[in-house]
Structure 1
Amino acid sequence: MADRSAEIRFLLMACALELSASRKKQLGDFLAQYPLDWKRVYGLAKRHRLIPYLCRTLPALTQVNESFLQTIQNDNKLMAIDGLVKQQQYRLLDALLNKHGIGHMAFKGVYLAEHGYPDPSLRISGDIDVLVDQSLAFRAIEILQAEKYSLSPKHQLYFQDGEQKLLDDLYEVSLFKQVFNNPIDIDLHWKILCFNKDYAGFDLSYIQSQPTHSHELQVVLLVSHHGVTNIWQQIYYINDLYFLLNGKPTDWLWLLAEMRRYGLERVFLVGLYWCQELWSLAMPETIRNLLADDAIRSLANGYEANWESDEPIEFSPLVLSQLTFFAKTQQQTRKKLKIYATFATSRVFRASTFKIGKQLVYIPREFGPITVFIRAIRSFSRFFVPAK
């Protein structure tokens, strides 16, 4: 177990659907023993998207300041309303894409809120993630624009360069719209990358080709995003994995084999390690035996150190962390070499956008060597950006 601060330990104990007598005593005893920095508790709870859990557990604890509790409850109400608006907007989006015959599926936030969590309000969603048929992705963007959704300035430049270049150079775009003073962000994907474009990617045909394992494939997508792309650096990622698996019929042997195929097995096991520790997730004995490996515990401790920071890792430091953590999880030299090789090749000869002053400049893929040079300078400089 990594050295956890008292605030992180408290938040982990507060992750509960109902406050049992034993958990209430545990929390009460902990507060009596460890004085908490409540400002830090609040900041970490927002960063790790744990406000809904605090709203369930704190009212029963007499040691919690009334004004702090009121703040948590007010935040939770606003987040619950925001979640309802996004669920409604996804239903409208679903109907719109169906009307135009565009194959699609939801994943991550809106999918988990409806199909994973026992109460949708427990899952705070930042945006609406949808995977569409790649051959119809450009058409889907046009349809959403007709519905008053706007592309981000960066993605608008790619869009203007034409359909083929957009689909080749990007794998998703963001479209925005204000609804009842709520900013709605649709992330429209036609491929979900695993590590980078040259390593592996999942498209809608991959999902649809294996209908008997649609649940397990959602787990693969989640581990690829939460574990590889975002290095398990927020606690709600673990809760996502738990609720996606808890009580669901799961073909564990098939799932492990598919994870192994993409080099995701140990990334997955690290997530399961925390699901077992935090939520006592029921798993087959064969899986529990794999989690007992000291190497998995050591990997988990390495990832977990990122929970303590006040802000998530972003930009170039995150890219380097993705490489470092993903390579560490590999046992086969062949897979490690592929990770390092694709890390380099995926950054050569690709279109890019850069800000010069307030102006956003688009450089097409044909000028790839220039973009490599500029990205290298920009990436290097980001390591020296002061922490927020």
Structure 2
Amino acid sequence: MLTGERQADPGLLDGLNAEALRELAGKHGMLPLLGRFLATFGAAAAPLRPAFRGRFLDDTRSALALTAELLPAVARLEARGIPVAAYKGPALALQAYGDPSLRLFGDLDLLVPRAALDGAVAALQELGFTPQPFASEAQRRAVLRDGHHLCLTRAPVIIELHWRFSKRMFGFAEALDGVWARLQRLPVRAATVPVLAPEDHMLGLAIHASRGLWSVLEWTLAIAVLARAVPAERWAEVGARAEAWGCARALQVSLLLSEALFATPAPAALWARLPADAATRALARAIAAHVLAGTRSPAWYLRTQVALRRGPLGKLAFLLRSLFVATPSDWAGAGGTRHGLALARVARPFRLLRKYGSRKSV
């Protein structure tokens, strides 16, 4: 679909329900890519286009408008001497697909060092952005300890300011000190923006996708495209980094899914450095089946998150973090006080028991 390796066969369009296809593609973040794919069919795709045209135009306008907002935000942070990398959003669209309009995104994600977070918030406030409020300093400290991003808003634009790729509960150990020396710059309009190196963006996205158990197909595709941009001689280093960050299995599952769902083989150099064992392959098959079915239960989600962790100690550590590391849902009802936050941690195991004891699909 992206590389031109396959010629479009008009027979693929036979019997397609345009409305159902639009809904499914939208759910999986694939609408812009689907539009590009349908264009390769020429006149054969004409009956399908009316169902997509308005949505394609709206999504393109939104993507281009948000991409334009990226430039002043990055420029202000860089002017303050704050290391910054554009992450996901238009940066990923450009890096993976060469066009900011080929991804669906509703906000801008920026990665900064944890030590520079206060300065980054202040710099964005100068542009009129308002940071998310906290009920107390205790709640703010809890978010910085256990969370992974802060939201700043200047309607209709939302910026998520990240200092890591996932909440502490998930147990990844991404060490971001080294990413700043590997940043690349991508041209955007008349400027350039700093983005993560393809291998770092790939690992960050694997962590992000694993949190949602790859429920959006575009995440998997983007990881596969980024993997193909990593030179073979760098896979030994990248594999070591994935293991150090605790996301090697998330990366393996991501690329096994891309092979199964998009017929996009992972680089041989990856499997030479990080061979997937039988348990990882079985896990990827089970996740693929659930993604395609489009349903999952809270209990399945928890079981699968546990299965993603290696070894009995890794699985136990994840369960303990799940029980006792608070999340925004817990903080929301805590009132912002130390007492409220402590009670939220005590109540969390019981809330999870109600949630994950359910077999209801969502």
Q: Considering the TM-score relative to the shorter chain, is it more than 0.5?
A: yes
Residue 77 (str. 1) matches residue 49 (str. 2): no
Post-superposition Cα deviations, 1:77-132, rounded to whole Å, max 9, x if no partner, equal 21112111111111111001112222221222232122222333222223211112
Q: Is the CA contact (8 Å cut-off) linking 2:32 and 2:101 kept in structure 1?
A: yes
Q: Is the CA contact (8 Å cut-off) linking 1:219 and 1:241 kept in structure 2?
A: yes
C-alpha distance in 2, partners of 1:88/1:191?
24
Q: Secondary structure at the match of 2:335?
A: strand
Picking from 204, 211, 215, the partner of 1:233 is: 215
Post-superposition Cα deviations, 1:240-281, rounded to whole Å, max 9, x if no partner, equal 102212234251122222223344223211211233341534
Residue 259 (str. 1) matches residue 231 (str. 2): no
Query: Which amino acid in 2 is paired with 1:329?
Result: L
Q: Secondary structure at the match of 1:187?
A: strand
Residue 27 (str. 1) matches residue 6 (str. 2): no
| CA positional deviation for 1:282 | 5.7
Partner of 2:229: 247
Partner of 1:188: 161
Partner of 1:200: 172
C-alpha distance in 2, partners of 1:289/1:345?
35
| CA positional deviation for 1:196 | 2.6
Cα root mean square deviation, aligned: 3.6
Query: Which amino acid in 2 is paired with 1:137?
Result: L
Residue 342 (str. 1) matches residue 321 (str. 2): yes
- Alignment map for 1:115-134 (pairs within 5 Å): 115-134=95-114
Residue 326 (str. 1) matches residue 311 (str. 2): no
Post-superposition Cα deviations, 1:325-367, rounded to whole Å, max 9, x if no partner, equal 233234433322332233334249x97112xxxxxx6233444
| CA positional deviation for 1:187 | 0.5
* Uncovered stretches (5+) of structure 1, i.e. residues with no partner: 1-14, 355-360
| Aligned CA distance change for structure 1 residues 366 and 282 (closer, same or farther; 3 Å) | same
The normalised TM-score by structure 1 is 0.75
Partner of 2:256: 273
* Uncovered stretches (5+) of structure 2, i.e. residues with no partner: 185-195
- Alignment map for 1:1-388 (pairs within 5 Å): 15-16=1-2, 18=4, 20-21=6-7, 23-25=8-10, 27-28=12-13, 31=14, 35-58=15-38, 60=41, 66=47, 68-151=48-131, 155-158=132-135, 164=141, 167-168=144-145, 170-178=147-155, 183-193=156-166, 196-197=168-169, 199-202=171-174, 204-208=176-180, 214-227=197-210, 229-249=211-231, 251-277=234-260, 278-281=262-265, 283-284=267-268, 287=271, 294-308=278-292, 317=298, 323-347=302-326, 352-354=331-333, 362-376=335-349, 378-379=351-352
| Aligned CA distance change for structure 1 residues 282 and 334 (closer, same or farther; 3 Å) | closer
| Aligned CA distance change for structure 1 residues 303 and 373 (closer, same or farther; 3 Å) | same
The count of corresponding residues between Structure 1 and Structure 2 is 346
Query: Which amino acid in 2 is paired with 1:302?
Result: A
Q: Is the CA contact (8 Å cut-off) linking 1:110 and 1:129 kept in structure 2?
A: no
Q: Is the CA contact (8 Å cut-off) linking 1:197 and 1:346 kept in structure 2?
A: yes
Q: Is the CA contact (8 Å cut-off) linking 2:148 and 2:165 kept in structure 1?
A: yes
Query: Which amino acid in 2 is paired with 1:300?
Result: A
Identity over aligned residues, as a percent? 21
